Amino acid sequence: MDKANLPTFSVLPRHVGIIMDGNGRWAKKRGLPRYKGHVEGAKTFRKIGEFAGDLGIQYLTFYAFSTENWSRPPEEVAAIMDLFRDYLRELDERKAENEEKGIKVHFLGDRHGIPKDIQRMMGYSERITRKKHHVILNIAINYGGRQEILHGVQALAHEVEKGKLRAKDITEQMISDHLYTASMPDPDLIIRPSGEYRLSNFLLWQSAYAELWFSDVLWPDFTEEDFVEALRAYEHRNRRFGGV
């Protein structure tokens, strides 16, 4: 989309979460191996990430790999890991450009299960992009919403065990502060393409009041126009947060 003619919105979500789904089906439809769908999906990730930043969305969270995705065939998992490596290398190569744009990268998920070289590159990417932050780009890798809540609750239970906290004093805010998204606003809008209508363990705690938007388009085919359509739908939603 032409950068000089970007669409404008009466209200823009501060935080958008995206479940990148449908890569496998996209490849299957074309008689290609599944990993080719992920290769195309990674291109869409770059395109939509950049576009959302240009539109002024401050927080973006992409679901790239769930704690359940390890059960896929090893060659598919290896291909996805290679796509992460490519992207992390690119972040280093484009350091200056990303700094200019004020993009700060942050990873959500349990890093322990991830190959060591990727863990190191993730830490490095977070350090080199930490200075300015007009756009926070969260990438969820080895992420599971229930696991995230469980880890947070365990950390709080530990405080209780040590006598530093009383169970009855635990607040919702304390749980939020123990999640990977601590200090970030909750997602206002969650987008799921590919014709599936569920959250699949994505940002479970944080999405309590999120608007949900679904589309039949498979993620590799997802366009900037589709993203605009989701934002237009959001513009017309009436968020009451449980009030009237």
Cβ-based nearer residue to ligand FPP, 29 or 232: 29
- Dmax (CA) for the chain in angstroms is 60
Task: Of 203, 180, 177, 178, give the one whose Cα is nearest residue 190.
Answer: 203
Q: Where are the beta strands (DSSP E) in 5-86?
A: 15-19, 59-66
- Contact call for residue 101 and ligand FPP (CB under 6 A): no
The SS3 call for residue 28 is: helix
Residue 21 designated active-site: yes
With contacts defined by CB under 6 A, name the span among 16-24, 125-133, 152-160, 235-243 that binds ligand FPP: 16-24
CA–CA distances in Å: residue 228 to residues 129, 196, 232:
27, 20, 6
> CA torsion sign, 86 to 92 to 98 to 102?
positive
In this chain, which of 18, 36, 45, 143 binds ligand FPP, going by CB under 6 A? 45
Give yes or no for residue 38 binding ligand FPP (CB under 6 A): yes
CB of 213 to ligand FPP, least distance (A): 17
The question of whether 69 is a catalytic residue gets the answer: yes
The set of catalytic residues is 21, 69
Note the residues at the interface with ligand FPP (CB under 6 A).
20-25, 38, 41-42, 45, 64-65, 69, 80, 83-84, 87, 139
